[in-house]
Amino acid sequence: MIQERYQFWLTSPYFDNDTRSEVAGIKDKKEIEDRFYMDLEFGTGGLRGVLGAGTNRMNIYVIRKATQGLADLILEEGEEGKKRGVVIAYDSRRLSDRFAKEAALVLAGNGIKAYIFEDLRPTPELSFTVRHLKAQAGIVITASHNPKEYNGYKVYWEDGGQVPPGRADQILAYIKGHQRWDDIFPLGEAEARDKGLLVEIGEEIDSVYLSKVKELALYPELSRTKGSNLSVVYTPLHGAGNMLVRRILTDMGYSVFTVPEQEEPDPEFTTVPYPNPEIPTTFDLAKKYGEAVNAHMLIATDPDADRLGMAFRTPQGDYQQLTGNQVGTLLSYYLLSQKKKLGILPDNAVVIKTIASTDLADLMVKDLGVQIENVLTGFKFIAEKEQEMEAQGNGDFQFGFEESYGYLAGHFVRDKDAVIASLLLAEAALYYQEVEGRSLLQVLEDIYEKYGYFIDDQISITLEGKEGREKMVKMMAKLRETDVKFFGGIPIECIDDYELRKGRRMISPLHSYTLSLPQSNVIRYSFQGGGFVMARPSGTEPKIKFYFNIRESDPEQLPNTLERVKKDLLELIED
């Protein structure tokens, strides 16, 4: 099977000369196996992989096949689905613009209208635009914060959220049902435009989207009159956030300095090892400029501007980077407490977060009299829960976040949104600075003093190829086979296995229970007194991730406790 695929890609005239030449240049048997032993998996919301020729790589032919699968699903909706069409956005990565155009022309070849942004735009604006134009679906070409060798393809449905598992399975079934690679022919661009099946969009969407973001401000007048007192250094990390993040902050009155070396799109991401705002070195240039202009806050967005990282100036004059959990906790606290103060917090207010995100938020949100919902890892589940609440009328979404630097407020976007987060963070920092005389770091310390000190960390083990996949399977099997009662000396209260959808209480009274969340290959160990360890193979990368959230009454003990927990976990998964 591998050799057949390899020979087909090597010889078929359907593939362009560059593709066949690349395939011909692969001499290593293991690389041939890795490129052709499987089709790049259409998983949680779409595709993500290394760029290159082959069935297990990102290229125009994989894009065509995935888009044909989406087209087949839309054709089920009849003429109405074809007319409503699909919105397509893309970021600054290698071949993103070409992949976007290729997807649009495959849709056009099926008689489905495609709206394509004239230039790179943030993923959350794509989500907004699907809702705003009442489109049937959306596509965004991005690999988010992955290394430069990667690109990806995410699919959204009519609610503006990433396709949930059920829809994704339908698209996957169509993709698998389409056995051939060489019978998908995109419509010519000129013909697609003439037929009204390819339509460019841009500023007319930007202005409506930004007006909605501005409506989320709780104290717009404070921003307009005092915003220049808060100086922000911003880096888009060579990605799609530059125009809209800078525009929203300057429009609202903030003083913004953009890192010049990282301002322009660059698919090589030459100034950073990875374009990921979670990584401390990402802020090196921003810190240099922050110190030069004495900025209060540094913010960074990833290439498709759905994730946001932040560092805040300490009293000593350096910058402390906050984790996604800390930013999510701060924004939850700011929005809920201020809405309560203003008398605009609904009685049925809800915060939604993932099971990988800090238990601190659960304690705090409940104490503020607000309901909190926990969903599976992946922001699409937050958006799906918001959509469900809206449809059933049983809760009013106020804020959602995940530990991996994703945040959302408002009802007009169904994905994490760094444009919204940048505005809310700036306003929160300004409010505490100008009204209460405190910094965000002081507010966070007050939260810790009230609810307990938490530290979070993550270990990500990369296991590439077929052998890596098999090793991940063995690791998860070993965890399922082992009765763990302690990590780092902390007693485990519950073990939840989302693959089996069963939980077990490990301390008295012992009992088993059924989990309500959908099936997912995740095991979560909840500590007595708060905090957890969680194991989860990634759905989009060749990695297995371990999440740590540790609680202590004494903050001095946190690093040592964390290291003990990590040591026990790593010893458990060793061969």
Q: With beta carbons less than 8 A apart as the criterion, state whether 130 and 156 touch.
A: yes
Name the domain boundary from 136, 169, 201.
201
Q: Which of 297, 324, 351 is the last residue of a domain?
A: 324
Tokens of 420: 């919204």
Structure tokens given for 385: 């829960």
Compute the Cα dihedral for 151, 153, 159, 164 and give only its sign: negative
Q: What is the pLDDT of residue 185?
A: 94
Tell whether 28 is covered by a domain. no
pLDDT for 574 = 84
Domain end point (choices 152, 175, 201):
201
Cα–Cα distance for residue pair 464/385, rounded to 1 Å: 32
In eight-state DSSP terms, residue 162 is B
Cα(25)–Cα(8) distance, rounded to whole angstroms? 15
Tell whether 64 and 189 lie within a shared domain.
Answer: yes
Tell me, yes or no, whether 26 lies in a domain: no
Regarding whether 243 and 320 lie in a shared domain, the answer is: yes
Q: What pLDDT shows up at residue 1? A: 87
Q: Residue 341: which domain range? A: 331-451
Task: Supply 552's token pair.
Answer: 């202590």
Based on the domain organization, do 488 and 445 belong to the same domain? Answer: no
Do 58 and 197 lie in one domain? The reply is yes
> Among this protein's residues, is 512 annotated catalytic?
no
Residue 144 and residue 404: Cα distance in Å, rounded? 12
Q: Is residue 13 in a domain?
A: no
pLDDT at 540: 63
Same domain, 519 and 459: yes
Residue 109 located in a structural domain = yes
DSSP 355-372: TTS-HHHHHHHHHTT-EE
Which residue matches tokens 């409010």? 431
Does residue 233 share a domain with residue 138? no
Nearest to 262 by CA among 511, 394, 414, 92: 92
pLDDT in tens, 74-133: 999 999 999 999 999 999 999 999 999 999 999 999 999 999 999 999 999 999 999 999
Is residue 3 a part of any domain in this protein?
no
CATH number for the domain spanning 339: value is 3.40.120.10
What does each C-alpha distance from 515 to 358, 495, 499, 501, 524 come to in angstroms? 19, 11, 10, 5, 12
Tell me the pLDDT of the chain (575 aa) as tens digits.
Answer: 899 999 999 999 999 999 999 999 999 999 999 999 999 988 767 899 999 999 999 999 999 999 999 999 999 999 999 999 999 999 999 999 999 999 999 999 999 999 999 999 999 999 999 999 999 999 999 999 889 999 999 999 999 999 987 889 999 999 999 888 999 999 999 999 999 999 999 999 999 999 999 999 999 999 999 999 999 999 999 999 999 999 999 999 999 999 999 999 999 999 998 899 999 999 999 999 999 999 999 999 999 999 999 999 999 999 999 999 999 999 999 999 999 999 999 999 999 999 999 999 999 999 999 999 999 998 999 999 999 999 999 999 999 999 999 999 999 999 999 999 999 999 999 999 999 999 999 999 999 999 999 999 999 999 888 788 889 999 999 999 998 999 999 999 999 999 999 999 999 999 999 999 999 999 999 999 999 999 999 866 789 999 999 999 999 999 999 999 999 999 999 86
Q: Which amino acid would we find at residue 101? A: K
For the CA atoms of 515, 517, 520, 524, the dihedral, rounded to the nearest 10 degrees, stands at -60
Residues 444, 457 within the same domain: no
What total of structural domains would you count in the chain? 4
- Two tokens, residue 284: 């090196």
For the beta sheet containing 396-402, the strands, ordered from the edge strand earlier in sequence to the opposite edge, are 371-375, 349-354, 396-402, 406-408
Residue 405 to residue 421: CA distance in whole angstroms: 10
Options 92, 96, 127, 144, the catalytic residue: 144
| Burial (CB count within 10 angstroms: exposed 0-12, middle 13-18, buried 19+), residue 382 | buried
